[in-house]
Amino acid sequence: MSRRSFPLNSVDAFLVTARHLNLTHAAGELCLTQGAVSRKIASLEAWFGFPLFERHARGLRLSPQGSALLPELQSAFAHLLTVADRARGHHTVIRLKAPTCAMRWLVPRLLQVEREQPDLQIALTTTTDHNVNFKTESYDAAIVFGTHMSAGDLLFEEALTPVVSPLRAGAALESLTFLHPTRDKTDWSLWLTQQALPAHAMLKNQHFDTMDLAITAAIQGLGVAIADETLVEEDIRAGRLARPYETSIKTGASYRLVLRESPGAGNGLAAFRACLLSRG
């Protein structure tokens, strides 16, 4: 017989029966019928080609071949369980949903999670959907965005400010193409109103589906984007973007981390949460 045909799922039945030398007790521990235990042992005996037990009126005893095989199978099976436990305990997968607009903030923190929690694996799904429904979606954690939210942990509040390529930082605002993160002009209108600047300053306009796309276009010099100051922090520090104005306006919206109530991934989720909330 080939190695692939080895009845691995019958090994436990042999080990438990060898410990009890009683089919009734073995069946009770394994939550099987005596007949099912006998069939498992018979499949092992058929594969080996020799009997593992000798049947007597008073019960069972190990055959000479079974006695010789028992310690090695006990050791191999214990090692298999140890490997399985270690794998289960040290490779926790966190299924994370995040809006694409948050990626500039999120990616450096995922690198931090990788450094600090190497046994956590983050399975990331990006989306333009800013909400999550744990009843219908199979995520363990999500970053959500919206106004007047209180669920989960606050990551940061949205504060909008203009950003532009450093090569175009000295240009007059009205001479630039206004890059919008949505199909309307709401964000730019909020900021212009706070600055007491007229909305008709937006002579040339380009609309995008996400803030991340608008920021990328600004980096490439297409125009001036209105962006969340937290999301562009690293781009400004690296010199990819400049802030022509120091002022920003809070919109009342925020980014928050929400977790599924899941006992199975409790420790992994707690470690992930601690890393994401760290200000380091």
pLDDT tens-place string over residues 35-82? 999 999 999 999 999 999 998 877 899 999 999 999 999 999 888 887
Give the contacts of 221 (CB within 8 A, at least 6 positions apart): 165, 167, 168
- pTM to 2 decimal places: 0.66
User: Could you tell me the two tokens for 229?
Assistant: 């100051």
CB-based contacts of 268, cutoff 8 Å, min separation 6: 92, 93, 94, 120
Q: Which two tokens stand for residue 84?
A: 């399985």
Stretches where the chain sits below pLDDT 50 are none
Which candidate, 117, 123, 99, places its Cα nearest to that of 256? 99
* pLDDT value for 143: 95
Q: What are the beta bridge partners of residue 253?
A: 147
Pairing state between β 92-99 and 141-147 = parallel
Q: Give me the residues paired with residue 227 across strands.
A: 161
Q: What's the confidence (pLDDT) of residue 1?
A: 56
* Nearest-angstrom CA–CA distance, 257 and 54: 62
Residues whose CB falls within 8 Å of the CB of residue 142, separated by 6 or more in sequence, listed in order: 96, 97, 98, 132, 257, 258
pLDDT of residue 185: 92
pLDDT of residue 267: 73
Question: What span, in angstroms and rounded, lies between the C-alpha atoms of 20 and 27?
Answer: 10
Query: Which pLDDT score is estimated for 266?
Result: 61
Maximum C-alpha span of the chain: 102
Average per-residue pLDDT for the chain: 89
| Among 159, 175, 136, residue whose Cα is nearest residue 229 | 159
Phi-psi region of 207 (alpha: psi -120 to 50; beta: other; left: phi over 0): beta
Per residue, the 3-state secondary structure of 44-98, as one string, reads HHHHHCCCCEEEECCEEEECHHHHHHHHHHHHHHHHHHHHHHHHHHHCEEEEEEE
